[in-house]
């Protein structure tokens, strides 16, 4: 029997605030995998350095055991079945928790910009003007549409539903609203619970 063997790695304490959803196994349901990836896609559209920021947050919060590097992050996001190159591997609960914490940390840092875009969107809607009248909003929407179309499989039913610019803009704004909710003190808990609504009996 070996002596002085290293202890099994433990998940960071920051993940302990997110309760286990009580699923029959430790794999995330389809809807949760899609939602996490779309929120990360919105962050990338908001911040040109979003991909690097995700990895930096992983290091800051000692999540490298769950989000090891750029390739591993790509594999985790590839569990979204809407992707062109979706992965058959499951997304484990602890991995999903790590993504939730990364999303909420970045959402907190982007709070001012997210609020500005949502206020601008509402003002344009009140005046019945298109998003092109707000430079930063139009820029965000354009990047989101570009990211979505480049990375999602156009043959998937869930992707076909967003075949027009208008539908994609609606999705992009919905994701902004969700990111704003994620930015609060209880943001991680709110997002985590929302991922499993209807999944747990």
Sorting pLDDT into bands at 50, 70 and 90, what band is 48?
Answer: confident
Cβ-contact 66, 94 below 8 angstroms: yes
Measured between alpha carbons, how far is 163 from 49 in angstroms, rounded to an integer? 27
Sorting pLDDT into bands at 50, 70 and 90, what band is 200?
Answer: very low
State residue 119's pLDDT score.
96
Q: What is the pLDDT averaged over residues 66-75?
A: 92
Model-level pTM?
0.89
Cβ-contact 127, 63 below 8 angstroms: no
């Amino acid at each position: 029997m070996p002596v002085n063997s290293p202890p099994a790695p433990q998940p960071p304490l920051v993940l302990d605030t997110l309760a286990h959803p009580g699923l029959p196994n430790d794999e995330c349901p389809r809807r949760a995998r899609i939602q996490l990836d779309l929120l990360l896609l919105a962050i990338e559209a908001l911040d040109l350095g979003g991909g690097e920021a995700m990895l930096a947050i992983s290091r800051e919060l000692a999540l490298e055991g769950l989000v090891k590097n750029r390739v591993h992050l790509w594999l985790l996001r590839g569990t979204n079945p809407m992707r062109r190159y979706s992965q058959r591997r499951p997304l484990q609960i602890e991995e999903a928790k790590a993504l939730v914490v990364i999303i909420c940390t970045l959402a907190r840092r982007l709070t001012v910009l997210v609020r500005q875009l949502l206020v601008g969107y509402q003002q344009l809607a009140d005046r019945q003007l298109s998003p092109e009248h707000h430079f930063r909003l139009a820029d965000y929407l354009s990047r989101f549409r570009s990211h979505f179309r480049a990375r999602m499989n156009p043959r998937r039913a869930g992707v076909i539903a967003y075949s027009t610019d208008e539908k994609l803009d609606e999705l992009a704004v919905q994701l902004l609203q969700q990111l704003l909710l994620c930015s609060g003190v209880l943001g991680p808990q709110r997002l985590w619970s929302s991922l499993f609504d209807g999944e747990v009996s």
